[in-house]
Structures are given as structure tokens and as C-alpha cells.
Amino acid sequence: RIRRRELECRYDIDDMTPLFLAIYRSLIPAEEEKEKQKQLLVSLRKLVNKEWPDAELHLYGSCANSFDVSNSDIDICLAIDDSKMSKSEILLKLADILESDNLQNVQALTRARVPIVKMMDPVTGISCDICINNLLAVANTKLLRDYAQIDERLRQLAFIVKHWAKSRGVNETYRGTLSSYAYVLMCIHFLQQRKPAILPCLQEMEATYLANVDGVQCAYFDQVDRIRHFGAQNNESIARLLWGFFHYWAYCHDYANDVISVRAGRNISKQLKDWTRRIGNDRHLICIEDPFETSHDLGRVVDKYSIKILREEFERAADVLQYDSNPSVTLFEPYVP
Ligand code: ATP
Ligand code: MG
């Protein structure tokens, strides 16, 4: 039922840690880039508040959850009382405002699954997507950022996994592979399962953060500076964890029966969630439960073709780390069809 391989890793996997740490550091955005993002946000706030004095702009996604690599686009959420205008009307109005302030390539995508306005700021060169009232995304951004502060190995692992996924062409939801958000959840889940655990399950702990967001209860322990030593009992290196991550998804995960759940801090059964068969477009071939919108499977974009590609890529990555003489290069070799 579950394919397993030798659990033995190359004897020198830990020696690869400095190389992977160097890759991780090279991906971190420079301070000045973060500064430019903040400036852009300040000027956008001024602009938006001229039209809507009570509206708020929140950063979300990787630029706010600490999993952003350099030159990322930024994601912004406009929080606005929309009882007077429809979402589309707000987006079109917003596009007008941005255009008349000389922002470039302004486009309102009112029919997208998540409707947004896209634009580029010619002063900083930063591209950004603005959505309306997507406050659950703002809440899950905070959850990811809080997890990242507990143990630095999460950020290291997720950066390298994201970099791998982008290089190998498996970070494209429109083609049936997984979002960056899904990969970060897979990393958190993996670190929750280590023995001893490297990350706790914040949603199973005493709730110090409580919010009702669009009818969804978001509750978890967010005083993360009090648990910075949580993973100290486990001294696995980043190279070993990286190999373990791919090995888990290649040879150990039970795709037929399990759902990974960061909320529960463990695998739960597909049966329990009634995710055992295709319903509409949701195929549930790899199941990743959203930590707050628990009826939402982030793997639902994966179809019978892309699941094969994904699993072959997990196997390739695990094997590269286990056998290749130059894994820090081979792992990220661009995929050429
Ligand atoms: P990247 O650096 O690749 O842009 P990202 O962290 O911004 O990565 P995205 O996948 O672009 O990740 O998603 C942006 C944000 O939107 C996520 O951080 C999350 O808050 C939210 N999000 C994305 N996909 C989903 C989803 N399927 N369900 C709920 N929220 C989502
Ligand atoms: Mg993003």
C-alpha cells in the first residue's frame, strides 16, 4: 500500500548543510527591498483613503509571512465595507484610482476565482495584486509567520522547497500543481511530525489569538516568543530535513488514505472528511487541509496527470539528495519538457 525504500541516507548528508544554507541566504530579500515594499504600501494607503477613508490595506502572502524570496510580487488585501458597491465595482473603481496615479499595467480581473487588480509601480519596480476583503488569507498569513518564528529550520526548509518547486515547474496551480501556500503547510506538517517534534501544533494549544473571520473561528496560541526553544531537543540539520521531506512525500505518505492537517498536528483520515472520491472538480488525490477553512483541500487543483508529475518530482528530489554527488545543483536543475 505504501511504497517504502531504504531509510538509510547517504552517510554525508549533514555535510551538505552549509551548501543549502548558502542557497537559503542567497534567496532572502535584501533589507532595501523590504523597505521599498513598505513605502509602496504607505503611498497606496494614502491613495485609497482619499476615496475610501475607512478602508484598510493589509499585506498578506509571502511578503508578510516571511517566506518571500527576493523579487517576489506583493499581495495586498483591501478591507472595505462593501455593502454599497459590488466587489467588481470596487475593483474597477480601484483600477481607475491606480491608473490616474500613474501606476503601470493596471488590470482589473473581475472574473478570476479570486478577483484582483494587478499593477506595477514604476518607481520601485514592484508588481502587486490587490484583492478585496480576503481576510482569511490575512489570518493564515499571520499563522504561517508565527510558525516561522518558532524554529528557523522551517523558513530554511520552505525557502529551499519553494525554490525547488519553481525550478522544477511544480508551483503552478493553473497547471495542476501546488501553490506556495500548500508547500509551506507541507513543511510545517513535516516538522510537526519529527521525533522529537521541531514545531508544535499551535491550534491545539491554549488560544491566545481568537478571531472570527468571515464566519470561521481562527484560534491558536500566538505568543511564539515564549516557545522559541520548542525544537531544541531535535538537532537534525537542514540537509537531513530536506532529504526527509522529499523522502516522506516520495515513499512514505499514504496518498490513498491520509490528509495532512497542520490544524490537528498530524495526518487525519480522508474517510473522516469525506474526501475519498471526486466531487465536482475536487479530486482529492493529495490532501492538504487548510488550517482555518477546514473544508478546503489545497490539493484539489491536482488531477490524475499532475499527481504523477508531482510524485515523480518528489522521488527525483529524494534520490538526488540520497545518491547524487552534487545535490545542491542537480536538485534545482530547471525542468525541460
Ligand atoms: P509566492 O512567494 O510564490 O508568491 P505566496 O506565499 O505569496 O508565495 P501564494 O500561493 O501566492 O503564496 O498565496 C498568497 C496567499 O494567499 C497565501 O499566503 C495565502 O494566505 C493565500 N492563499 C493562497 N492560496 C490559497 C488557498 N487555496 N486557500 C486559501 N488561501 C490561499
Ligand atoms: Mg505571492
- Closest C-alpha among 41, 48, 46, 130 to residue 87: 130
State which ligand 1 atom lies nearest to the alpha carbon of 63. 7
Residue 280 backbone zone (phi > 0: left; psi -120 to 50: alpha; other: beta): left
| Structural domains of the chain sorted by starting position, each given as residue range(s) with its CATH number in brackets | 13-27+151-330 (1.10.1410.10), 31-136 (3.30.460.10)
Query: Residues 112, 114, 119, 120: is their CA dihedral positive or negative?
Result: negative
How much is the CA Rg of the chain, to the nearest whole Å?
21
As given in the structure block, the three cell numbers for residue 56 are 484598510
Q: Which three cell numbers stand for residue 10?
A: 547517504
Q: Which of 118, 98, 82 is nearest to 46 (CA)?
A: 98
Return the ligand 1 atom nearest residue 67 CA.
6
Burial 188-198 (b: 16+ CB within 10 A, else e): bbbbbbbeebb
Could you tell me the distance, in angstroms and rounded to a whole number, from the CA of residue 9 to the centre of ligand 1?
A: 33
| Whether the CB of 237 sits within 6 Å of ligand 1 | no
3-state DSSP assignment of residue 212: strand
Q: For 221-253, b where at least 16 C-beta lie within 10 A, e where not — what string?
A: bbebeebeebbeebebbbbbbbbbbbbbbbbeb
* 177, 179, 180, 181: CA torsion to nearest 10: -140
How far is the centre of ligand 1, averaged over its atoms, from the C-alpha of 180 (Å)? 6
Angstrom distance (rounded) from CA 294 to CA 276: 15
Q: Is 183 in the pocket of ligand 1 (CB under 6 A)?
A: no
292 lines ligand 1 (CB under 6 A): no
| CA distance linking residue 209 with residue 260, whole number of Å | 23
pLDDT recorded at residue 1: 37
**∠ CA 81-120-115 to the nearest 5 degrees?**
40
Tell me the residues surrounding ligand 2 (ion) with CB < 5 Å: 61-62, 75
290 lines ligand 1 (CB under 6 A): yes
Q: Does any ligand 1 atom lie closer than 6 A to the CB of residue 179? A: yes
The complex's ipTM works out to 0.96
Does residue 177 have its Cβ closer than 6 Å to ligand 1? Answer: no
SS3 call for 17: helix
Query: In angstroms, how far is CA 250 from the centroid of its own chain?
Result: 20
For residue 22, give the DSSP letter. H
Instruction: Please answer whether residues 199 and 231 qualify as being in contact, where contact means their C-beta atoms are separated by less than 8 angstroms.
Output: yes
Q: Is 180 in the pocket of ligand 1 (CB under 6 A)?
A: yes
Substitution site in 179, 183, 290, 301 for ligand 1 pocket (most atoms within 8 Å of beta carbon): 179
Q: Judge whether 181 and 287 are in contact, CB under 8 Å.
A: no
**Do the Cβ atoms of 8 and 93 come closer than 8 Å?**
no
Asked if 145 contacts 65 with a C-beta cutoff of 8 angstroms, the reply is yes
Q: Considering only CA atoms, which residue is closest to atom 15 of ligand 1?
A: 61
Q: Tell me the three cell numbers of residue 235.
A: 538537532
pLDDT tens for the chain, 337 residues: list them. 344 454 555 668 999 999 999 999 999 999 999 999 999 999 999 999 999 999 999 999 999 999 999 999 999 999 999 888 999 999 999 999 999 999 999 999 999 889 999 999 999 999 999 999 999 999 999 999 999 999 999 999 999 999 999 999 999 999 999 999 999 999 999 999 999 999 999 999 999 999 999 999 999 999 999 999 999 999 999 999 999 999 999 999 999 999 999 999 999 999 999 999 998 888 999 999 999 999 999 999 999 999 999 999 999 999 999 988 899 999 999 998 7
